[in-house]
Amino acid sequence: MIDLTGKTGVVFGVANKRSIAWGIAQSLAAAGMRLAFTYQGERLRENVAELAATLPGSLLFPCDVTSEAEIAAVFAGLERELGALALLVHSIGYAERADLEGSFTATSRAGFLTAHEISAYSLVGLARAAAPLLEKSGPGSVIAMTYYGSEKVAPNYNVMGVAKASLEASVRYLAADLGPRGIRVNAISAGPVNTLAARGIKGFTGMLQHAAEKAPLRRNVTLKEIGDTAAFLASPLASGITGEVIYVDCGYHIMAV
């Protein structure tokens, strides 16, 4: 059993009970970690607050990751309430629906910049703000969420695939930059999961079925499997792992056809 008792973490990206971020939070909490959560806008506050309330000792902060002021306010609050952090979970991704359909060459300049700012640059901004608190905890860990569409062309993933490629490169550069401070940075590349966000991708149901048929394990990954991998990466068991993309996709990425 992984024991994270006495450690604290912050999770960015919970939207509802089917979110990958929530699956990760459940595994971390089951291992004993005390968690803080963020939400963007009042529309999501109620959902996140209701879920957070099921985990004793949880904290809640508003945060729009495009706002440096809001990022600073979150980490000031975390320092005030927790003193230090052992873990930062980045499970954030966004692209305009119009840029996820049709031809990639039709991607707008504004849409390209938006996808990269929210899906990739936000990891850099959050890691920078979290670093002093992660350093205080001793060995700290940062975990980001990515997808195989960063490496291979996935239908209707378009600009998000390019943004995820940027995210994965950022993981490597952050790992090199923060490693001397005892902070590890890794990404989990999860197979398709039936989340609310994923349903916004045209043809997602077909992608889900195809992955289950072609993956060596002949099924789709579960939220618990993704969450348990995050708990492992946050634990001393993964103390020698940084700058990596860990695939949790039932082996789908190894298949050529």
User: How confident is residue 72, by pLDDT bands cut at 50, 70 and 90?
Assistant: very high
Q: Average pLDDT of the chain? A: 94
The set of catalytic residues is 147, 157
User: How confident is residue 102, by pLDDT bands cut at 50, 70 and 90?
Assistant: confident
Does the pLDDT value for residue 135 go beyond 90?
Answer: yes
User: How confident is residue 43, by pLDDT bands cut at 50, 70 and 90?
Assistant: confident
> What are the pLDDT digits (tens) for 181-190?
999 999 999 9
What average pLDDT score do residues 56-66 get? Answer: 97
First to last CA, the chain: 36
Give the residue extent of every domain in the chain.
8-254
What average pLDDT score do residues 116-120 get? Answer: 98
> What are the pLDDT digits (tens) for 140-169?
999 999 999 999 998 889 999 999 999 999
What average pLDDT score do residues 74-96 get? Answer: 97
User: How confident is residue 26, by pLDDT bands cut at 50, 70 and 90?
Assistant: very high
Q: Which CATH class is domain 8-254?
A: alpha beta
